[in-house]
Amino acid sequence: MKVVFRSPNQTLRILQCLNWQLSSICEVAPVIREQGFDAVQIGPLQPLKEEGDVEWWMSYQPCAFTIGNQYGSKQDFVELCRVLHENNLLVFPDVICTHVAGVNDGRIIPHEKVDSKLVNNPYFWREAKDINDWDNRYQVINYCAGLPSFDLYNHELQNYIITFLNELVNCGADGFRFDSAKSIPTPREGCDFFPRVLSELSKKSLYNYGEVIFASEELISLYVDYLDVLTNTWSYQKDKVVLFSESHDSFLGLGYTREKSSFEITNEYRHLVNHYPKTIYYARPFDDEWKSDRIKKIHKKNI
């Protein structure tokens, strides 16, 4: 069963605002639109194991399938959707369906704050074994990347995720970025997660894309019958991928773009915009390059 919800626009230019307060995004919504962006990708809103100011990676250690953390409440998200829609912008929450927060002692077990209804079901979990070869597809879809990871073949677990995603849709979400989609098995690998989950969402005009970085054409092809692929890899499947020149992970995590200036990243982004209809631009912390005339001109030229 194919479930594909493509972008409502011929082109889609997304601004990634990781670790921004939702209220701060509301304040600059008119500027985002004026810069030629069509959508905003926000960071995960699932509750985290630590509160207050945390390292960026802590945003990817959720404890439940519910809405609200230090970056905004459920009501804040409703307000964000209202403001962005008034400015003709779409909103895509980053959602984490693959794993939860772990302890800090090297064991692959859930943190004490993880929702008990998840922790107490032994059928929800993958084997607590770490991936040591990211080119080994069996490991990628069956083992853990250092954190307690879900067995996404399980329909009861899928139902929890469906309820969570529909709650976000009912608040105003226009689609989702699926974090770590590379580790979510596809129907050709015996798992119905994407067709089943996406077909149960309450709104059918959503735009969904999944993170599949360092991907071959063969790997991209496993996903594109169900959603678009967010990747750093150039692809001939141009209408089915979202390309980036920099992500939060390449800047803050792996760090391989950190030595590049914002100007250099923008030049690389220009090249992507010239060749691909869907792109995403990461707003670096404490950096207003996304507001620059260069970005506006890149987008206006390609309208």
Residue pLDDT, tens place only, 129-161: 999 999 999 999 999 999 999 999 999 999 999
Residue 7 has pLDDT above 80, yes or no: no
What's the burial of 123, exposed, middle or buried (CB within 10 Å: 0-12/13-18/19+)? Answer: exposed
Q: Tell me the pLDDT tens digit for each residue of 80-134.
A: 999 999 999 999 999 999 999 999 888 999 999 999 999 999 999 999 999 999 9
Q: To which residue do tokens 């976000």 refer?
A: 168
Q: Is pLDDT of 31 > 50? A: yes
- At residue 200, the pLDDT reads 97
Contacts of 122 (CB under 8 A, 6+ apart): none
In this predicted structure, what is the pLDDT of residue 1? 46
Residues 18, 71: Cα–Cα separation, whole Å: 10
Question: For residue 3, what pLDDT band results from cuts at 50, 70 and 90?
Answer: very low
Average pLDDT over residues 49-70: 93
How confident is the model at residue 37, as a pLDDT?
98
pLDDT at 9: 57
pLDDT tops 60 at residue 40: yes
Q: List, for residues 241-287, the tens digit of each pLDDT value.
A: 999 999 999 999 888 999 999 999 999 999 999 999 999 999 999 99
Looking at residue 280, its pLDDT comes to 98
Mean pLDDT of 14-25: 97
Q: Half-sphere exposure of residue 15, counting CA atoms within 13 Å on the CB side?
A: 30
Phi, psi of 181 (to 5 degrees): -60, -25
Render the burial of 8-36: b for 16+ CB within 10 Å, e for the rest. Answer: eeeebbbbbbbbbebeebbebbeebbebb
Domain boundaries defined on the chain:
12-100+171-301
Compute the mean pLDDT over every residue in the chain, rounded to the nearest whole number.
Answer: 94
pLDDT score for 105: 86
Does residue 207 surpass a pLDDT of 90? yes
Task: Tell me the whole-structure pTM to 2 decimals.
Answer: 0.95
Q: Does 301 or 228 have the greater pLDDT score?
A: 228
Q: What is the mean pLDDT of the segment spanning 191-203?
A: 97
Structure confidence by residue, pLDDT tens digits, 70-79: 999 999 999 9
pLDDT at residue 6, rounded to an integer: 53
pLDDT of 177 above 90:
yes
Chain-centroid distance of CA 121 in Å reads 26
Beta carbons of 56 and 252 less than 8 angstroms apart: yes
Confidence band for 52, pLDDT divided at 50, 70 and 90: confident
Classify 12-100+171-301 by CATH class. Answer: alpha beta
Q: Side-chain half-sphere of 251: how many Cα atoms within 13 Å?
A: 19
Give the Cα separation of 152 and 99 in Å (integer): 10
The two tokens of residue 174 are 């226009």
Phi first, then psi: give them for residue 110, nearest 5 degrees: -65, 145
CA 181, CA 26: separation in Å to the nearest integer?
A: 28
